[in-house]
Amino acid sequence: MSEFAIELRDVVKKFITPEGNELAAVNHVTMQIKNGEFFSMLGSSGCGKTTSLRMIAGFEWPTEGEVYIDGELQGRKPPFLRPVNTVFQSYALFQHLTVFQNVAFGLEMEHTSKNDSRRRVGEALEMVRLTGMDKRYPKQLSGGQQQRVALARALVKRPKVLLLDEPLGALDLKLRKEMQLELKSLQKEVGITFIYVTHDQGEALTMSDRIAVMSFGKVLQMGPAVEIYERPANRFVADFIGESNFLDGSVKSVKDGQAVVYISAWGQELTGIVTSKVNVGDEVAISIRPEKIRLSDQSTPNAISLDGTVVNSTYIGSDTHIYLDVRGQRLKVWEQNRVSTLDPRAYYQNGQKIQLSLVPENTLVLPKE
């Protein structure tokens, strides 16, 4: 057994657009996905995540580069000969077959014996909590249940790798959250490598061991959720994952993983953590997450205090979102509502003068690209 369940080596996939231009949907992507990992490909539509998944499944073949499954070169092997299974975004259930027949379909293709097949389908349906539904047709199930059938149908084959193409996209928010946790624990239970394609960053952060953030056919950053969120490789990733305040500046000095950046709009220097290599003189972006700005008078030793005015504040239940004007720059700050009160002053007023403090450990210095 290979160390990697899936390996993409310098994979390129080109398509011809309707206008006749060549487009690299996947542009020199290299990924190594370990056995038993919950791996997500995250990006907006057209970033190449689904194409990458389809190349692993065998629905597409790379224009250049190679796909390996369990150390084995796939080349132009058709999907039905690959030891991976897919959960489709549309579920792609067979409407003319019952739940049982849908789940048994893959076993039937392997010529599994009737008894074995019945037992394994039963187990799979139990795993996705659909016991007793086996005689129903997909049309008689809710969206969430259909989703589970699709999952059971793929898992019953005991694939080396399970590929999931935005499987929760069609579900409502609450069900989606439930299914996220369920999928995650299911993955731990069966120990199969999951590759999960999504455009929903919350989903990726919740479930994944590692995330590949993709854009325009390239992988911008690959790593665990905490790394992607707390140490984004560049401005794009910081912007795509979560929310952030950005300030333009140029690098004055770099030392010990920190850089001093001159913010021309403020005429002030800020110190922050360097995540990717930057050089003195580089034009960079300062990124500060809105929940990491403190609105208070009690400034910490190395903090920089600034005066601001509240432009707008929105109460959203657990938090208050405060939009500030700080010397001509807009900053957003999320404050947790830690005290239960009806007093409007607790939630900030428009026009209110306020002091905020920025500390270097919450300030990131990011390359613009």
Cα 281 from Cα 141, distance rounded (Å): 60
One of 40, 52, 74, 85 touching another protein (CB under 8 A): 85
Cα 150 from Cα 179, distance rounded (Å): 13
| Residue 75 binds to another protein (criterion: CB under 8 A) | no
| Residue 181 binds to another protein (criterion: CB under 8 A) | no
Contacts (CB under 8 A) with another protein, residues 287-306: none
Nearer to another protein, 87 or 286 (CB): 87
CB of 106 to another protein, least distance (A): 4
Nearer to another protein, 5 or 225 (CB): 5
Contacts (CB under 8 A) with another protein, residues 103-122: 105-106, 108-110
Cα 343 from Cα 134, distance rounded (Å): 55
- Cβ-based burial of 104 (10 A; exposed 0-12, middle 13-18, buried ≥19): buried
How big is the site for another protein, counted in residues (CB under 8 A)? 26
Please give the structure tokens belonging to residue 338.
């830690």
Torsion of CA 195, 196, 197, 201, to 10 degrees: -130
CB of 341 to another protein, least distance (A): 52
Contacts (CB under 8 A) with another protein, residues 202-231: none
Residue with tokens 């549309």: 90
Please give the structure tokens belonging to residue 60.
């597409």
Element (H, E) at 12: strand 4-16
Question: Residue 355 in 3-state DSSP?
Answer: strand
Cα 80 from Cα 64, distance rounded (Å): 22
| Residue 147 binds to another protein (criterion: CB under 8 A) | no
CB of 294 to another protein, least distance (A): 49
Cα 149 from Cα 133, distance rounded (Å): 10
- Cβ-based burial of 369 (10 A; exposed 0-12, middle 13-18, buried ≥19): exposed
Query: How far is C-alpha 96 from the geometric centre of its chain's CA atoms?
Result: 35
Among the listed ranges 93-101, 127-135, 196-204, 295-303, the one in contact with another protein (CB under 8 A) is 93-101
Contacts (CB under 8 A) with another protein, residues 27-66: 57-59
One of 30, 90, 140, 314 touching another protein (CB under 8 A): 90
CB of 84 to another protein, least distance (A): 8
CB of 94 to another protein, least distance (A): 6
CB of 126 to another protein, least distance (A): 20
| Residue 167 binds to another protein (criterion: CB under 8 A) | no
Whether the CB-CB separation of 66 and 56 falls below 8 Å is answered with no
How many angstroms separate the Cα of 302 from the Cα of each of 97, 281, 295? Answer: 66, 24, 15
Spatial strand order in the sheet of 22-34: 22-34, 4-16, 64-69, 72-73
| Residue 94 binds to another protein (criterion: CB under 8 A) | yes
Among the listed ranges 79-87, 177-185, 293-301, 304-312, the one in contact with another protein (CB under 8 A) is 79-87
CB of 88 to another protein, least distance (A): 5
Nearest residue to 191 via CA among 2, 42, 5: 5
Among the listed ranges 27-35, 75-83, 204-212, 346-354, the one in contact with another protein (CB under 8 A) is 75-83
CB of 114 to another protein, least distance (A): 16
| Residue 257 binds to another protein (criterion: CB under 8 A) | no
One of 17, 45, 95, 113 touching another protein (CB under 8 A): 95
- Cβ-based burial of 336 (10 A; exposed 0-12, middle 13-18, buried ≥19): exposed
One of 36, 46, 65, 79 touching another protein (CB under 8 A): 79
Residues in the site for another protein, rule: CB under 8 A? 57-59, 78-80, 84-86, 88-90, 92-96, 105-106, 108-110, 139, 153-154, 157
